[in-house]
Structure 1
Amino acid sequence: MSKRDYYEILGVSKDASKDEIKKAYRKLAKKYHPDVSQEDNAEDKFKEAQEAWDVLGDDQKRQQYDQFGHAGPNQGGFGGFGGAEDFGGFGDIFDMFFGGGGRRRDPNAPRRGADLQYTMTLNFEEAIFGKETDVQIPKEEECETCDGSGAKPGTKPETCSHCQGAGQLNQEQNTPFGRVVNRRVCHYCEGTGQIIKDKCNTCGGAGRVTKRKNIHISIPAGIDEGQRIRVSGQGEPGENGGPTGDLYVVVQIRPHEFYKREGDHIFCEMPLTFTQAALGDEIEVPTVHGNVKLKIPAGTQNGKTFRLKEKGAPNVRGYGHGDQHVKIRVVTPTNMTDRQKELLREFHDISGNQPTEEQHDNIFQRVKRAFKGD
C-alpha cells in the first residue's frame, strides 16, 4: 500500500513554513495521542503524523522528500554509476538482490527500550471513583552485577576485530552494473560490534535479568473500558544508554448486576407495582453517589425513563459528571389473593379493557410512522 503524502497528512501546503508544519503536527498529535484519544485508529494516525513531522520538520529530509518523494534519494533515485560504494543510492537495492540486509544502524547507538502492556481488571465502583494500587509485573532490568555490560566484573567487552565494531561485514562483488558492496550482519558478534569473552555469571552475557517489580498505578476517576494509562519510564530498559520504554495499563471493567454504563452516563431499571405506576409514588433509587428520591407521577407507563442529573460517572478528563437514566419496569402481580383478584375484576368492570382515547391516538400515530418509515 502506497504511503500518503506527508503534506496531506499534516494538512499543510507544500510551501508551508516550518512553524506552520510544527503547529499542524502538534494539533494532530494532541488529537490522536493514544493516551487520550478515543478516535478509531488513533494510534495509527498518531504514528502517521509523527512520521510526517520527522521528515518535514527536518530541513535536509524535507528537501530530499520534495525532490524524491517517499522513495528517497537512496531508493531508486538516478544517481551516477561507477565505483562509488553505493552507486549513487542503488546500494540498498542491490543488497536485496545479492542477499544483503540493507544498511544497518550503528550497533552501539542508543536505542529506546520496548514498551510493556499490562491488563488490569477493575470493578464498577473502582472505575467510577478511581484508586491507587500497586501491580507486580515481570520486566527486564539492567544486570546489577555487570552494570548492563554483559561482561564478568573486572573485564569489559572488546571491539569485534572482524567488523571493527560496525556490526556488519562488507563483501564486494562484481556485477554487470559495476562493483556492488554486499552488507551482512557480522556473525562473530551477532551485529553488536562487540565480543564478550568472559560473560557475567548472573546474566550470561545478556546485560539484563528478568525480575518482578512492584509499580504504583494511579487510576483516574471515570476511566472506562479499554482506556489506557501510560506510566512513563516503566517499560524495558534502553540499549547503549538509550531511554527506558513506557508501561501501558489497559483497563477492563467487570459488569455490574444493577448498573450499565455508556460513556459517562449510567443506566438502570427500577421495578414499580401496577398501583405505584397508576397512582404515583416517591421511590428511592440507588446511585453510585448514594440513594436519591425520585417522584413518580400518576399514570407512569412501562418503559418511561427519568434522568437524574449529574449522578453518572465523572468525566475522566475532568469535564463534570454524566447522568443516571432510570427506566421504569411495571411488574405484573403474580400469586394474587382472592381479594386482590376481586378488586382487579371490579376495576376492570369499571374502566373497561380498552386504552383511553389519548393512549389510543398515541399508539395509532406510532404505528402509522412505523409503516411510513419515519
Structure 2
Amino acid sequence: MAQDYYATLGVERTAAADEIKKAYRRLARQLHPDVNDAPDAADRFKEVTTAYEVLSDPAKRQLFDRGGDPMGGARGGAGFGQGFSFDDIMDAFFGQNGGGGRQQRSRVQRGQDALLRLDVDLAEAVFGVTHDIKVDTAVVCERCDGSGASEGSAPVTCTTCRGQGAVQHVQRSLLGDIRTSRPCPTCHGYGSVIPEPCPECDGEGRVRSRRSLTLDIPAGVDHGTRIQLAGEGEVGPGGGPPGDLYIEINVARHPVYSRKGDHLMCHVTIPMTAAALGTTLDLPTLRADLAGHEGSDTLSVDIEPGVQSGQVVTVRGEGVPRLRGVGQGDLQVTVVVETPSKLDGDQRELIHQLAALRGEQRPEARLGTTHRSVFGRMKDAFRAGVNDER
C-alpha cells in the first residue's frame, strides 16, 4: 500500500508549507534515533523524513497529489537515501539554518568594538576635562569606497557554488546517504569572488588609519570608568558599519588627595598646641591642578580646639560631583597631632607647668578610648564593696 505522506506527518492535504515544516520538526525531535530508543523509531523517522522530502518540494507534492510516485517506487523510507538533506534534521532540532552554512555570508559586516585606556589626573577625573586623543582603527577604504574591488570592476558570482555560498557533501550512513552543506572553499561562503581586488585594501574594503578625536570626560569619572563613543570603533569588513569605541579611564595617584566613592580624603599634621587651641588651615584645592582654572587655590578648614589625633573633620560639598546624580560628596580631613620630640629648657619648663596646672604629672594610663583607668576601676570596686557592707 502506498504511503500517505500527509497522514505520516499528521497534516491536512491543504496544509501550507510552514505547517508541513512545523509538523516535520515536531516528529523529527520525537523520533530521531539519538533521542528515541524505541525499536521502530528509526523506521518511523525514515518515513516522516521521506514524507517531508516529498511535501516540501512543490513538484514532488503536485505529482503525489495527482496519484503519481514522486520517489520512483522507493516509498516507505527509501527516499531518505535519495537526496535527504541533513540540514533538515538540524532545522528540526535547532531551528532555521541550524545546520549552518546554507545561507551565503554577507561581505558587509559590522566592525568590532575598540578599547583605549587613557591616563588622567585626579583633578581631571573630579572636575571633568576635554582631551584630544589619537585612535588607530580600521576605516573605510577611500579608493574602493568599501567595495573591496578595484576601480572599474565588481564582485562576480562564484562558479564553484553558483552563488549559494555553500557546497554539498554526501556521506553514507546506516540511515542512508546524508547530504550536508559546507561553506564554499572558493568564495568562503560569500557566494561571490572579487577577481580584481582593490590594491589599497587588498579586497577588505577597509584600511588602518590613525585619526584624532575630541573626548569630553564628564566630571566625577572614577578609575576604571568606561566612556562609550558610538560608531567610533573598527569599520567592518566590506566597509561595514563601525563598532563602538570605549575609553577606559585610569586615574593617576595624587600626592595630597585620595578618593573613596564621591568623597575626597586627605591627612593633615598639626602641632599639639594647635590641636589644643584650635586653628584654621588653608589647604590647596584640586582645582589648582587644572590649567586655566578660576577661583581660589586654597580652601579654609576650621580645626576645633581639643581635636584628637585621627579625628576626621568633614567639609560638606567639597568632594567629587556625582557622575549619575545631583550634588557632590564631601572632603574628609584626617587630623594627625604631632608631639614634639625635641624641647629646649624653656619649652620643657612650660610644659611641666602646664602638666602641674592640669594635674597630669603622673597621669593614669587609659586602655583604649572607651576603657577607664585601672586605678579608676579599682576605686569603683572599692566603693561598691563599702556600700554593700553598709
What letter corresponds to residue 370 of structure 2 in structure 1?
I
Please give the per-residue CA displacement for 1:155-202, whole angstroms capped at 9, x wherever unaligned: 112121112233322212221123322222222123332222222221
Deviating more after overlay: 175-184 vs 131-140: 175-184
1:266 is the counterpart of 2:264 = yes
What letter corresponds to residue 213 of structure 1 in structure 2?
R
The TM-score normalised by the length of structure 2 is 0.66
Matched residue count: 292
Shift of 1:241: 6.4
Please give the per-residue CA displacement for 1:271-327, whole angstroms capped at 9, x wherever unaligned: 110101112222223343553322222221100001110100111124210111010
Please give the per-residue CA displacement for 1:120-174, whole angstroms capped at 9, x wherever unaligned: 1100111011111221111111111111222211111212111223332221222
The TM-score normalised by the length of structure 1 is 0.69
Shift of 1:263: 1.4
Which residue is equivalent to 1:200?
Answer: 198
* CA RMSD, 1 decimal: 3.4
Indicate if the aligned counterparts of 1:288 and 1:312 stay in contact, CA closer than 8 A. no
Shift of 1:338: 3.0
Indicate if the aligned counterparts of 1:107 and 1:166 stay in contact, CA closer than 8 A. no
Match of 2:105 among 104, 107, 110: 107
What letter corresponds to residue 144 of structure 2 in structure 1?
C
Distance 1:87 1:295, change over 3 A: closer
Indicate if the aligned counterparts of 2:126 and 2:320 stay in contact, CA closer than 8 A. yes
What letter corresponds to residue 352 of structure 1 in structure 2?
E
Which residue is equivalent to 1:250?
Answer: 248
Which residue is equivalent to 2:89?
Answer: 89
Supply the distance in 2 between the matched residues of 1:243 and 1:366 (Cα, whole angstroms): 75
Which residue is equivalent to 1:40?
Answer: none
Q: Equivalent residues in 2 for 1:1-374 (5 A)? A: 80-82=48-50, 83=80, 84-86=84-86, 88-90=88-90, 102-103=100-101, 106-108=104-106, 110-239=108-237, 242-288=240-286, 290-350=297-357, 351-352=359-360, 362-364=369-371
What letter corresponds to residue 193 of structure 1 in structure 2?
G
Residue 302 of structure 1 aligns to a residue in which SS?
A: coil
What letter corresponds to residue 336 of structure 2 in structure 1?
R
Supply the distance in 1 between the matched residues of 2:139 and 2:326 (Cα, whole angstroms): 39
Shift of 1:210: 0.6
Supply the distance in 1 between the matched residues of 2:217 and 2:269 (Cα, whole angstroms): 34
Supply the distance in 2 between the matched residues of 1:298 and 1:213 (Cα, whole angstroms): 58
Shift of 1:362: 4.2
Q: Identity of counterpart residues, as a percentage?
A: 33
Indicate if the aligned counterparts of 2:101 and 2:183 stay in contact, CA closer than 8 A. no
Residue 352 of structure 2 aligns to a residue in which SS?
A: helix
Shift of 1:104: 5.7
Shift of 1:238: 3.1
Supply the distance in 1 between the matched residues of 2:373 and 2:158 (Cα, whole angstroms): 82
Indicate if the aligned counterparts of 2:266 and 2:334 stay in contact, CA closer than 8 A. yes
- Mind listing any 5+ residue stretches in structure 1 that lack a counterpart? 1-59, 95-99, 368-374
Supply the distance in 2 between the matched residues of 1:144 and 1:110 (Cα, whole angstroms): 16
Supply the distance in 1 between the matched residues of 2:285 and 2:362 (Cα, whole angstroms): 37
Larger Cα-atom Rg: 2
Supply the distance in 2 between the matched residues of 1:306 and 1:150 (Cα, whole angstroms): 66
What letter corresponds to residue 296 of structure 1 in structure 2?
I
Distance 1:362 1:145, change over 3 A: closer
Supply the distance in 2 between the matched residues of 1:355 and 1:282 (Cα, whole angstroms): 30
Deviating more after overlay: 186-195 vs 214-223: 186-195
Residue 330 of structure 1 aligns to a residue in which SS?
A: strand
Supply the distance in 2 between the matched residues of 1:197 and 1:87 (Cα, whole angstroms): 31
Supply the distance in 1 between the matched residues of 2:361 and 2:176 (Cα, whole angstroms): 99
